[in-house]
Amino acid sequence: MKSYLAAAVQMNSLPDLSKNLLQAEDLIDLAVRQGAELVCLPENFSFLGDEKAKQEQAEAIAQGSEKFLKTMAQRHQITILGGGFPVPTGTGKVYNTALLVGADGQELARYEKVHLFDVNLPDGNTYQESQTVLAGMRLPPVYPSKELGHLGLSVCYDVRFPELYRYLSQMGAEVLFVPAAFTAYTGKDHWQVLLQARAIENTCYMIAPAQTGKHNSIRQSHGHAVIIDPWGIILADAGDQPGVAIAAIEPNRLEQVRRQMPSLQHRVFV
């Protein structure tokens, strides 16, 4: 693992595939011009806001998203994470799929979100992800990159389930991805503290690209795409507007924190 710059992209995605991919392309270009070698896009980067339309267009969104990720990776010679897009399952529902693509345009790892956001919030909004999404049945992968470190995948609501991240750290993860479309209501209280907790517990870097702003008349996201170091320190925060959070991933820092706080070696219950 070498020292390198990573980017957590922050988007305001809409129920419009072509507009979203143009926005993502601009933000990827911005990140690359600042030196990022690993660029991470948020959950629902290619389509967000209208569940019925998403279902109807799922095949086109899936094909367009995957082609886009592979094209961007090859064009810029970067590793790229597409943090979540719908992939048809043949059941009438989709998998919420995160895809990691290497600089040669080849798929490195794929994860189908296992924890689905079925919640009635006090602000009056109801989210029933399971109405349109089929939960994945496999544990998330850790991709062992020689240059970028061991990369552990997850998506959004997963961050509330610490056992998933403990599994990833046990599998050798050094950098954890949490691409998200966190709601404005929950995000203001829980987004940052949950990410810092997962970083501290597992002494890992956290890269958390995010959605921000309004996506339709009822859906609003919190923003604050962040990169957090293994001590829980926020290295970069994209605020509440579309943009990028960029920070260095440093193997020496990872080793230092794990040496000073060797909690992963002190586990009693595994």
Q: Which two tokens stand for residue 119?
A: 């919640």
Phi-psi region of 172 (alpha: psi -120 to 50; beta: other; left: phi over 0): left
- Active-site residue numbers? 43, 113, 156
Residue from 107, 83, 85 nearest 94 by CA:
85
Q: Cα separation of 27 and 31, whole Å?
A: 6
**Three-state SS across the chain?**
CCCEEEEEEEECCCCCHHHHHHHHHHHHHHHHHCCEEEEEECCCCCCCCCHHHHHHCHHHHHHHHHHHHHHHHHHHCCEEEEEEEEEECCCCCEEEEEEEECCCCCEEEEEECCCCCEEECCCCCEEEHHHCECCCCCCCCEEEECCCEEEECCCHHHHHCHHHHHHHHHCCCCEEECCECCEHHHHHHHHHHHHHHHHHHHCCEEEECEEEEECCCCCEEECCCEEECCCCCEEEECCCCCEEEEEEECHHHHHHHHHHCCHHHHCCCC
Q: Which two tokens stand for residue 191?
A: 């987004």
